[in-house]
Structure 1
Amino acid sequence: MAMTKRPARTQDVPIPIDVRARTITDIARLAGVSAGTVSRALSGSSLVKPRTSEKIRMLATAHGFSPNIAARNLRTRRTGAVGVIIPLGHEAGQHISDPFFMALLGHLADALTDRGYDLLLSRVLPSNKDWLAQFVDSGRVDGVIIIGQSDQSAVLDEVASRYLPIVVWGGHIEGQVYCSVGSDNKLGGRLATEHLINKGCRRIAFFGDAAAPEIAQRLDGCREALAEAGIDATIDYLPVHLTAENAHPAILARLSENRIVPDGIVAASDVVGMSALRALSEFGLSVPSDVRVVGYDDLSIAAQTTPPLSSIKQDLATGAAHLVDILFRRMAGEATESVVMAPSLICRSST
């Protein structure tokens, strides 16, 4: 009895080379392997033989194929994104374009991209205490980096007590629940003040709003240095905001109303330091002959002012690397300790 030849099953029919493969199944048919093998090969799995992986990657490249990231994330329960939030509870006028934010964000973006992750950026003006809980519960990201505590430390503690993959750039506070990365702000304030004292300054002012923990720590460091030097610790404190449009007129007004002008200024940021340089010039005072000024952060703009601004350096590149490394460890379920980095004085012509 003659045997009838069955038609080939659809899944066994190879795709013509001139037809573009659009799915993992298409690539699998061309490679003669299972769809699972293709998926593992394209994700870099060591379970697939090198020769097979190379064949699959070459086919994928030839057909301009890339895996469906959304489908992969659905299978792995990962979003492939990290949320980076800038809460501005006490500095509502500050913008993402602030030089400090831009510098740190650049380092974070590079570090996250190197790990194959996207950055979801959000600037938040907290109107209620649930803003962070709503964000982490939305399922939009795999972890969160907060830039600055602002006046939201209690909110950060509440969320961190139940949500592990969160890390904060900011000053370390004794007893905090959340994990943080930042420099030793009190030491930074001391370094700036001791430098001014060594330069002969005795009437030292601090410009910056201590509502934020980082700024408060820098102010504490200034006061400690003055006290240890035997100088009246009643520092001329001006709680200016960190934006130039607010800091400059506030500093100019303080210079106009004070009978005694400070001979040394510790600025809470380089932006405030630059605003002080401008205000002093407009007031007819010379830097450093009449007044010496130290900024904070040592951003690239600090070296471009007239005169170039002395500053307390925070190593933002290293800080960003710590933030990302710690976040990924916490995303993997590891509890991590906070990191406090040592700042350093960068001396330029303003002092």
Structure 2
Amino acid sequence: MQEKNRLKQVAPILRHYAVEANFVEDFGRVQKIYSNKGIFALKKIKTNHGADFIRHVHNLYQKGYNRVVPIYPTADGRYAVLHDHHLYYLMPWLANELKEDRTQRYQQMFRELARMHTISVREVKITKEEREEHYENTLQQWEKEKEFLSGFIEQCEKRAYMSPTELLFCLYYHDITQAIKYAEDKLKAWYEKTKEEEKARTVLIHGKVSPEHFLFDERGYGYFLNFENAKLSSPLHDMLPFLSRSLKTYPKRSEEAVDWLYTYLKYFPYKADELLLFQSYFAYPGPVIRAAERYYQKKNSRGERKMLQYLQGQFWLLKNTEYVIMRIEETERQKQEAAAAAAAQAQAEQEGAQN
């Protein structure tokens, strides 16, 4: 009965593609369609997402980027079908049988992400006033959060008996404020470097980079899918959320995260100002501040023990991020020293040739 219902539900949608389903497997918002014309993936999205992402995908194809799971047109040329208050689109079903280990899989994903950014990059005009406004607003927001942290720790230290969460916050306070200072210093350095510039780079960002959204075909080629969050934005906005998600774990020194970042940067190097802004945003300890605010505002309905675990988890993210930041600093310093040594050697050789 359930199978008949699935076939009945997809039939009016597939009719637009002249496809007749024989069997349907349900994978949440994606359905695997076994049909008279092969195996397909039928994806359901909310109508408020619109179909802008389809335009972005086609723009990539027109620019020669074909590592995107293709979206099939209907018989009358449309790329999405409106049915029962949802949009549906049809794609080939990729087997995604892993022929590579985890390291190679991630490296291929970030090479392709860098290539997608390279193909779609363009400069946009940003006035000095817009840049200054962004800088001032960010610093103002961070200043408010520093004031909250200062007030919260004063309140904690006045108590005769702190709660476990308050005690843990006091132990974390120094590391949190150090991370804020680092982020502020990088933001100020970015602004000093760019305050006279009136252009910035944008790319087409995927919007939700994940190994789950990078599938492999039977030949071992990787393809991006799930472009519903794609938009033109700073290239930072693909790497930052991915790295933050990957570091939400127990305390660890993640050389993997460093490798992922530099695999990407090898093929799409950030400009000096972009790297400064990346370091600032990446280092800023927003999640642990949100956790402290939630506790202070008594939004800890999960209880003291759960809140304690939540705060600890966000602090582990801060420390994991701190390690990656330190490795970035070390790597960039080594690159600068190597460049300076090469320049000095070249100058010495030139002077020797003249003598």
**TM-score normalised over the length of structure 1:** 0.22
Greater relative contact order, per chain length (Cα 8 Å cut-off, separation 6+): 2
Structure ID, larger Rg: 1
